[in-house]
Amino acid sequence: MTGVWPFLTARSSWAGPNGIAARLAEHLWLTGVSMLLALVIALPVALVLGHTGKGGAVAINISNVGRAIPTFAIILVLSVGALGTDDFGPFGRAGLATLVSLVLFAIPPIMTNAYVGMREVDRDLVESAQGMGMNAQETFWQVELPMALPLVMTGVRLAVVQVWATATIAALVAGPGLGNIIQKGFDSNKQYMVVGGAIVVAVVAIILELSLVLVARVIDPMRRARRHRDLTPRLAVVEGVR
Amino acid sequence: MKAPYWAAESPVEHLGSERYPYPLGREDVGLRHATSIGRVTALLTVDSTPCYSLAKNAWLCGQYWTDKGDQLISATEQHIELVVLSIGLSLVLSFPLALIARRFRVTAPVILGGATTVYTIPSLALFSLLLPVWGLTMTTVVVGLALYAITILIRNILAGLDGVPDAAIEAALGMGYGPTRMLFTVELPLALPAIMAGLRVATVSTVALATVGAILNYGGLGNLLYDAVNSQFKAQILAASVLCVALAVAFDVLLIAIGWVLTPWARRRT
């Protein structure tokens, strides 16, 4: 473990185009963009499917299929295949293939949890909303979506952690991101570099997870009510592959 | 439109004049026969470079599978070894941990929180963090994979045990069951479907994750993927990816079958 702390605190290891700072920015940028794309694609579909109660098999099985496919293999197939670009703007080498893989792997957790969240909304609540004269749109926005929000946020959180992990693996296929620090450490037989890079990746992953837990708690519109009565929907543990 | 070769007046038409520049008469049957044999052997010999050679680099290449079969088999064997060892280790560790978390409620947040934190760490980073402990060995990969599986298993074991109907527990208590006998003959069997579901998720994830072990040179089929990065060896990339998914499906089917055998009461009556 010697040398890890000096490596992490040295200005030289953070600076430069291959330094930790640049790789961290690249990694965060990749994660943000692919999450945005995945949300735009998956969330409306999942919410509408959940609202109408159709396509449940697809929404749930997409996670099971996603789990069986190695992220490493997908990035590699895409980067060697049609999406193999040398450089892709701020995403660097193999950037397009990495971005597309990240979006693909972010969709299942978002989709499944949002769908399950919508379906788990108490049917009595929906019926009483309709009985009070709410139309489908009002029911969706004012009853179903607020009640489903905790699980929707769980899906988003799982997707972010998933994307962060997958982006790390991108370095194995000569792609962008913090994985390069680890990979370079392995290549040059510098254990302090491997461990140092891994610590940065792990710490940021944990920070992302915790802050999303916090965000979910703050934006949950039912949090006051939950203190008094247990309205928490059954937690669906839908995890992906790291 | 050009006539097919069997309808051709003379073989010259379809053979192309570059390779067979000899004008042949219709009456020259013997020679014509000889030429068509020549054409067949020419087709076989001209294209002797395999479809997986760097010049062709085809995605789908049957010859890769036959030529490099040994390599594929040994990589698959290592992959299976990684999965079986890490799932075995995670089973051995997750049962006591889950039972401790259930028996001493104070420890539950620590055990579950710790497991969740480990699950948040990306695989490449986790293997790297374990590097100083076990070095460039298979143990590093197996322990890393087991840590992920433990998280899934602990949650499912706890959920399964929580889901045991109170009536069953009360009935067993009334019959004088002690805690150990209760656990092994009532609670665990009733929790088995939930535990098996967790085991399936953990195993399928582990099959996919094991590929990342390639960074330590112990990645099973992942080694083949990693080796193919620089050469962009398409046949190898496809073969390893397909085998990996097939392996995940095979493990899943096996576990479904085991679950079916172990829980005869849970089978749907038809």
CB contact under 8 A, A198 and B229: no
State how far the Cα of B152 lies from the Cα of B156, in Å rounded to an integer.
6
State how far the Cα of A145 lies from the Cα of A138, in Å rounded to an integer.
10
Return the residue in A64, A76, A186, A237 with the most chain B beta carbons within 10 A, the one to mutate for interface testing: A76
- A209–chain B Cβ distance below 8 A for any pair: yes
Mean pLDDT of A88-110: 85
Q: What is the pLDDT of residue B254?
A: 96
Neighbours of A55 (CB within 10 A): 15
A-B contacts at Cβ under 8 angstroms: 142
Question: What does the mean pLDDT of chain B come to?
Answer: 84
**Closest to B118 in 3D by CA, of B136, B134, B130:** B130
- A107–chain B Cβ distance below 8 A for any pair: no
Main-chain dihedrals φ then ψ at residue A93, nearest 5 degrees:
-60, 140
What is the per-residue pLDDT across A80-94, written as a single tens digit (0 to 9) for each? Answer: 877 776 677 677 677
State how far the Cα of B99 lies from the Cα of B115, in Å rounded to an integer.
15
Main-chain dihedrals φ then ψ at residue B124, nearest 5 degrees:
-60, -40
Please list the alpha-helical segments (H only) found in A120-190: 123-131, 136-138, 145-169, 179-187
Main-chain dihedrals φ then ψ at residue B83, nearest 5 degrees:
-65, -45
Mean pLDDT of A181-204: 92
Q: What is the ipTM of this complex?
A: 0.85
Q: What is the pLDDT of residue A91?
A: 74
What is the per-residue pLDDT across B209-234, written as a single tens digit (0 to 9) for each? Answer: 999 999 999 999 999 999 988 888 88
Q: What is the pLDDT of residue B24?
A: 44
Contacts of B241 in chain A (CB under 8 A): 70, 73-74, 76-77
Q: How many residues does chain A have?
A: 242
Contacts of A81 in chain B (CB under 8 A): 59, 234
CA distances from A89 to A93, A101, A139, B164, B179 (A): 9, 17, 43, 55, 63
What is the per-residue pLDDT across A213-225, written as a single tens digit (0 to 9) for each? Answer: 999 988 887 776 6
Q: What is the pLDDT of residue B48?
A: 67
Tokens, residue A34: 């692919």
Strand pairing partners for A93? A87
What is the per-residue pLDDT across B187-197, written as a single tens digit (0 to 9) for each? Answer: 999 999 999 99
State how far the Cα of A67 lies from the Cα of A201, in Å rounded to an integer.
22
What is the per-residue pLDDT across B124-159, written as a single tens digit (0 to 9) for each? Answer: 999 999 999 999 999 999 999 999 999 999 999 999
pLDDT higher for B254 or A59?
A: B254
pLDDT score of B31 more than 90 = no
Smallest Cα distance from A73 to chain B, Å: 6
**DSSP 8-state secondary structure symbol assigned to residue A177:** S
Q: How many residues does chain B have?
A: 270
Question: pLDDT-derived band of residue B6, with 50, 70 and 90 as boundaries?
Answer: very low
A15-34 residues touching B, CB cutoff 8 A: none
Say which residues have a Cβ less than 8 Å from residue A139's Cβ, sequence separation at least 6. A126, A129, A130
